[in-house]
Amino acid sequence: MSRNIYAEKNRWKWVLFVFALGIGAVTMWYTNNFVRKLREVERQKVRLWAEASGLLADVGDNDQYLGFVFQVIRDNKTVPVILTDGDGNINGWNNLDSTKVNRPGFLEEELAEMAEQRPPIEIEYIEGERVYIYYKDSLLLTQLQWYPLVILAVMTLFILIAYYAFSTSRRLEQNRVWAGMARETAHQIGTPLSSLMGWVEILRTQHVEEEMLGEMEKDIDRLNIITDRFSKIGSMPTIKPEDIVAVTENAMQYLKARSGRKINFAFQTPEIQGPVFVPLNVSLYEWVIENLIRNAIDAMAGQGDISVCVQEKGNQIHVEVADTGKGIKSTQWKTIFRPGFTTKKRGWGLGLSLARRIIVEYHGGKIFIVRSEKDKGTTFRVTLNK
């Protein structure tokens, strides 16, 4: 069920991503098509301006034509143009930055840029004499070309910010829900647990075998530990230096005594001599190790090898739990730490999520999968600072 939810979520992400790409592609196509048409309009405007300039010598004193020609010339207020003769000498210009025109080399630079963008328009003023009109896109057209990219960038930034805010809010809400469930579970267990402790004392007065009562008290103590763990979820627990080697081995030994004979346990501490003190909350840290070992047992279907290794690397301690189970797909290495995700047919998908919360938020460490291969096993690593 959980895997289907996350798979559906990933599919929707890809659908939305493709949809966004489609919108961007359509926007770019429409804008480029519009820009291409506008560029052609500007080209026609420049040609008309050039031809009007050439008519000045022919209209003479005809005020009607002269006024029309001057009107055409004045109408070009957007397209930058430079007029040159057949030898490349600059004879005139229009719609260029008037504050820069007098700067040495400015017109030559603009002319080179225009010539690089497109070929000039050739106009024959007098028979045998030609002039060339160089031009480039107007500022409006240039801005229009960048407009869709700016809009897409703003939309993308807005979507990313909104997605981050939504994800953060949802994650905080999930954490509050899980923490509330954990504390409520601890509260619910507390009442019958107190009653069981009372019943043990009553049974002791009835001369029940002490060995049986001792086993019952062990289970009650275990329930007390579980209740204490759940009650600490959602609040900052007490952290103090503890021997991580001894604590890790104790957690492994507890499950070793309660596992089948077909599971082989190994505890390794290469290059470590004596205790290594790390800031820990023993109860919660043991919960993490027990959870990893239980998952390893489930992955091996009750048969295989489990290795717990504590290594010292500089100022850090690496605790690795390795099994010979069925392995985990690489696409699920991060997903398995999300609340509600599980690869089991039964389960709430909370174990690894709580383990990550305990290690990352309470102990300032890391927990992740180091390696995993199909039918060969998985290795989890917990990294803590000394």
- Reported as a single tens digit per residue, the pLDDT across 95-107 is 777 778 888 888 8
The tens digit of pLDDT for each residue in 278-298 reads: 999 888 899 899 999 998 998
Residue 63 has pLDDT above 50, yes or no: no
- Answer whether 316's CB lies under 8 Å from 383's CB: yes
- d(CA 285, CA 300) in angstroms, rounded, equals 23
- d(CA 369, CA 332) in angstroms, rounded, equals 10
Phi/psi of residue 256, nearest 5 degrees: -60, -40
Q: Please give the mean pLDDT across all residues of the chain.
A: 78
Q: Strand pairing partners for 133?
A: 83, 121
Q: Which amino acid is at 331?
A: T
pLDDT band at 32 (very low <50, low <70, confident <90, very high): confident
- d(CA 203, CA 283) in angstroms, rounded, equals 29
- Looking at residue 235, its pLDDT comes to 67
Residue 201 has pLDDT above 50, yes or no: yes
- Answer whether 312's CB lies under 8 Å from 382's CB: no
- Looking at residue 298, its pLDDT comes to 87
- Looking at residue 369, its pLDDT comes to 93
Phi/psi of residue 245, nearest 5 degrees: -65, -50
Could you give the C-alpha distances from 90 to 83, 93, 115, 125, 293, in angstroms and in order?
Answer: 6, 8, 13, 16, 84
CA atoms lying within 13 Å on the CB side of residue 342: 14
Q: At a CB cut-off of 8 Å and minimum separation 6, what does 350 contact? A: 178, 339, 340
Alpha helices (runs of H) in 233-281, residue ranges in sequence order: 244-256
The tens digit of pLDDT for each residue in 82-125 reads: 878 777 888 777 777 777 888 888 888 888 888 888 888 777 66
Q: At a CB cut-off of 8 Å and minimum separation 6, what does 345 contact? A: none
SS3 27: helix
Percent of the chain whose predicted confidence (pLDDT) is above 90: 17
Residue 317 has pLDDT above 60, yes or no: yes
> Of 74-78, 248-252, 308-312, where does mean pLDDT reach its minimum?
74-78
- Answer whether 53's CB lies under 8 Å from 83's CB: yes
CA angle 232, 235, 241 (to 5 degrees): 70
- Looking at residue 7, its pLDDT comes to 60
- Looking at residue 307, its pLDDT comes to 94
Which two structure tokens, joined as six digits, stand for 213? Answer: 């009562």
Residue 368 has pLDDT above 70, yes or no: yes
Task: Give the global pTM.
Answer: 0.55
Q: Comparing 298 with 177, which gets the higher pLDDT?
A: 298
Of 123, 128, 139, 134, which is closest to residue 92 (Cα–Cα)? 134
- Every domain of the chain and the residues it spans: 2-137, 143-230, 236-385
- Answer whether 288's CB lies under 8 Å from 321's CB: no
Q: Which amino acid is at 302?
A: G
Residue 59 has pLDDT above 50, yes or no: no
Read off the pLDDT of each residue in 203-227 and give the average, rounded to a whole number: 81
> Under CATH, domain 236-385 is a member of which superfamily?
Histidine kinase-like ATPase, C-terminal domain (3.30.565.10)
- Looking at residue 110, its pLDDT comes to 85
